[in-house]
């Protein structure tokens, strides 16, 4: 590249000091159309429909559980996702999902570069949405720039107020939708409008409305360039075989208009490159960069410049793909005159396959765990102080805190029994010690951990022993669990 023509270099003689701050350059992307624009439309529609629609899906779980398909019930510490219900102690499933999301991003980034940034990131989706609002209300790029530079006449004030009102409405819908994931959506909506919802619902809506309004409406690409750590991380995860949006400078340079090219041809000089310097790639860029300067932090690889360039190339009858998804390695190959690697070979290479293997392995392991997890659980905590109690007739009593966990959404009749304690019997703090026996019948309420005080008692002459507490479901699904614990007596306790 010819550096002498770069306007920034006029400061080489220090005649112009760099200021402490940089005024933000406005970005007014032109509307565009093309395969990538349509892909972005589709992904945006999908993301927004999923975001707004999910809390309203119903899912019948019977009378003892909420009927919302996806619900994060923080108050009762349950996470519902269709037929999966997760308890706090099963939070590793969520951790697993997060790890899968992380590795999924590694996978996507190493294969197709910053695809997350360009298509699916909420900042991108909502910025895109707000930029469409700009174009609908203010007109396309040139009209927007004109209005921006225009004085604050009543007409401009009215138009700005209207546009910011639309921003605010979208932001309110965005912030307001979030809370429905945390409570029954229809009920919460009624409460929300009648002013009876929890204060945290209003606070969350207010905060998220503000952040959407501010980040989507005004900060936009500044979030990607200055605030977000992810572009830095992704930049580090890209390698020379990742697909990135690339300007093929070997094909495009030196750039010049069709007229200039014809003129040079007449003069018998070296021909110009394919780039006609129409600046359409800059005009459509949502972050306001010039992709022809090479890969840069501001490029979210949304590929809108590919659409714009392809259109320009078609207009002047040159082949498409002057700007295209391309790898650095292929760029070097093509410059050397070799053929580029086929796209499939680029995507399916050891690095991406390893990422996919790890990602899929975790997924399969979680599915297996999900299928084999038990919904009935017993835990027994033996009293440590006192370890044992001597009773009048010489019997020895040990106290236990027993927890029966029924993770099904219905009450379950179970038996709690002991096995392997010679002469022993159990009773609870709610029954007479005289009724102690080896098997107790208990009804565990739906979706609950029932906590019981259970005493094991052994007649005079008791010896320390290891024994089992067992729980067995009596309903037709069945299921059981057991815990080995100890019975302590004076023997072996220094007495």
Partner 1 sequence: MANDKRIDEATGVETVGHEWDGIEELNNPLPRWWLWTFYASIVFAIGYCVVYPAIPGLHSATAGTSGWSSRGALAHEMKEADAERAGIRAEIAATPVEQLASNEKLLRASIEGGRAAFKVNCVQCHGAGAAGAKGYPNLNDDDWLWGGDIATIHQTLQHGVRQPGDDATRMSQMPAFGRDGILTPAQVQDVVSHVRVISGQEKPSGSSQRGAAIFAANCAVCHGGGGEGGRNVGAPRLNDAIWLYGGDRATLTETVTNARYGVMPAWGSRLDPVTVKMLAAYVHSLGGGEAAPAPAAAPAQAAAK
What residues line the site for partner 1 (CB under 8 A)? 3, 6, 8-9, 11-12, 14, 18-24, 219, 222, 226, 383-386, 389-394, 397, 399, 429, 433, 455, 460
Complex with partner 1: residue 55 or 424, whichever CB lies closer: 424
Smallest distance from partner 1 to CB 397, Å: 7
**At closest approach, how far in Å is the CB of 432 from partner 1?**
9
Least gap, CB of 252 to partner 1 (angstroms)? 19
Find the shortest distance in angstroms from Cβ 422 to partner 1.
19
Nearer to partner 1, 433 or 446 (CB): 433
| CB 396 to partner 1: min, Å | 10
Can the peptide bond before residue 5 be classed as cis, meaning omega within 30 degrees of 0? no
DSSP string across 365-429:
HHHHHHHH--SEEEEEEE--SSS-EE-TTS-EEEEEEEEEEE-SSS-EEEEEEEES-TT-EEEET
CB nearer partner 1, residue 226 or residue 368: 226
DSSP string, 160-213: HHHHHHHHHHHHHHHHHHHGGGSS-HHHHHHHHHHT-S-HHHHHHHHHHHHHII
Minimum Å gap between C-beta 215 and partner 1 is 12
Cα–Cα distance, 65 to 78 (Å, whole number): 10
Task: Considering the complex, state which of residue 477 and residue 491 has its C-beta at the smaller distance from partner 1.
Answer: 491
Residue whose pair of structure tokens reads 């400061």 in the numeric block:
11
Which residues contact residue 227 at a Cβ distance below 8 angstroms, ignoring those fewer than 6 apart? Answer: 219
Residue among 277 and 383 whose Cβ is closer to partner 1: 383
Q: How far is CA 40 from CA 51, 104, 191, 218, 307, in A?
A: 16, 20, 36, 21, 12
Helices marked H in 195-327: 199-211, 221-222, 230-237, 249-252, 258-267, 280-284, 304-315
Sheet holding 465-473, edge to edge: 439-444, 412-419, 465-473, 480-487
| Token reading at 18 | 């760099």
Whole-angstrom distance, CA of residue 455 vs CA of residue 485: 13
For partner 1, the closer of residues 227 and 316 by Cβ is 227
Nearer to partner 1, 380 or 433 (CB): 433
Q: Which is nearer to partner 1, 206 or 391 (CB)?
A: 391
Residues contacting residue 48 through CB under 8 Å, at least 6 positions apart: 125, 129
Give the nearest distance from C-beta 386 to partner 1 in angstroms: 4
- CB of residue 394 to partner 1, shortest distance in Å: 4
Write down the least CB distance from residue 287 to partner 1, Å: 13
Q: Which is nearer to partner 1, 34 or 399 (CB)?
A: 399
Rounded to a whole number of angstroms, the minimum distance from the CB of residue 433 to partner 1 is: 8
> Quick one: DSSP state of residue 285?
-
Residue 8 or 76: the one with the smaller Cβ distance to partner 1 is 8
**Nearest CA-CA partner of 396 in 468, 459, 454:** 459
């Amino acid at each position: 590249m010819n550096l002498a023509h770069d306007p920034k270099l006029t400061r080489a003689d220090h005649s112009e000091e760099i200021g402490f701050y940089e005024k933000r350059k406005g970005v007014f992307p032109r509307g565009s159309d093309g395969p990538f624009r349509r892909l972005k439309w589709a992904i945006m529609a999908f993301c927004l429909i999923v975001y707004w629609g999910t809390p309203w899906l119903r899912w019948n779980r019977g009378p003892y559980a909420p009927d919302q398909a996806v619900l994060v019930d923080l108050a009762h510490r349950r996470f519902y996702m269709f037929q999966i219900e997760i308890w706090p102690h099963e939070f590793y499933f969520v951790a697993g999902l997060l790890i899968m999301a992380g590795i999924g991003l590694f996978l996507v980034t190493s294969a197709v570069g910053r695809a997350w940034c360009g298509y699916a990131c909420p900042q991108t989706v909502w910025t895109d949405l707000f930029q469409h609002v700009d174009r609908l209300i203010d007109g396309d790029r040139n009209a927007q720039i004109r209005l921006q530079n225009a004085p604050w006449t009543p007409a401009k004030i009215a138009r700005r107020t209207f546009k910011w009102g639309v921003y605010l409405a979208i932001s309110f819908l965005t912030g307001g939708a979030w809370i429905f994931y945390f409570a029954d959506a229809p009920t919460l909506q009624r409460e929300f409008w009648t002013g009876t919802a929890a204060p945290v619902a209003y606070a969350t809506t207010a905060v998220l409305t503000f952040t959407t309004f501010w980040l989507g409406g005004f900060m936009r690409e500044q979030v990607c360039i200055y605030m977000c750590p992810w572009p830095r991380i992704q930049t580090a995860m890209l390698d020379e075989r990742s697909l990135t949006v690339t300007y093929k400078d070997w094909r495009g340079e030196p750039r010049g208009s069709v007229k200039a090219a014809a003129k040079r041809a007449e003069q018998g000089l070296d021909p110009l490159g394919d780039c006609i310097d129409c600046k359409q790639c800059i005009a459509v860029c949502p972050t306001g960069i010039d992709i022809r300067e090479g890969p840069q932090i501001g490029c979210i690889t949304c590929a809108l410049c590919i659409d714009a360039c392809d259109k320009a190339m078609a207009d002047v009858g040159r082949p498409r793909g002057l700007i295209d998804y391309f790898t650095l390695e292929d760029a070097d190959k093509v410059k050397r005159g070799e053929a580029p690697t086929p796209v499939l070979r680029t995507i399916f290479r050891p690095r991406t396959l390893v990422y996919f293997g790890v990602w899929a392995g975790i997924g399969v392991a979680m599915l297996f765990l999900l299928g084999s997890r038990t919904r009935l659980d017993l835990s027994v905590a033996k009293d440590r102080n006192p370890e044992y109690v001597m009773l009048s007739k010489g019997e020895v009593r040990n106290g236990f805190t027993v927890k029966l966990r029924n993770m099904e959404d219905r009450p379950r009749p179970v038996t709690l029994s002991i096995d392997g304690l010679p002469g022993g019997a159990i009773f609870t703090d709610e029954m007479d010690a005289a009724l102690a026996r080896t098997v107790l019948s208990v009804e565990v309420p739906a979706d609950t951990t029932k906590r019981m005080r259970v005493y094991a008692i052994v007649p005079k002459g008791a010896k320390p022993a290891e024994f089992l507490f067992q729980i067995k479901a009596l309903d037709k699904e069945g299921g059981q669990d057991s815990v080995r614990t100890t019975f302590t007596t004076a023997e072996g306790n220094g007495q």
